Amino acid sequence: MINQDMNADLAAEALKDIIPNSKPKKVTIEDIQRLVASQYSLQPQELKAKKTYKGFAFPRQIAMIFPGK
């Protein structure tokens, strides 16, 4: 690596033991809905239902906030 021009391949080789090569998992809206629903003991379909049950309001709001962040 001495006296070589720096490029992406050389940098990747030099950092391979320091920085893991795993890529972050892409989180989908369905993942968020499933997680929020399970946290509040609901089914994901209940978050999307047209029911106006008071117990669904807060979990729905949580599920709507996270995809925008």
Amino acid 22: pLDDT: 67
Amino acid 65: pLDDT: 77
DSSP-derived secondary structure for 41-66: T--HHHHHSS---HHHHHHHHHHHHG
- Interval 38-55: pLDDT, tens: 888 888 888 887 777 777
Q: Which helix (H) or strand (E) holds 35?
A: helix 29-39
- Interval 5-39: pLDDT, tens: 667 777 777 777 777 666 767 878 888 888 888 88
Give the N- to C-terminal CA distance of the chain in Å, as an integer.
Answer: 41
Amino acid 3: pLDDT: 64
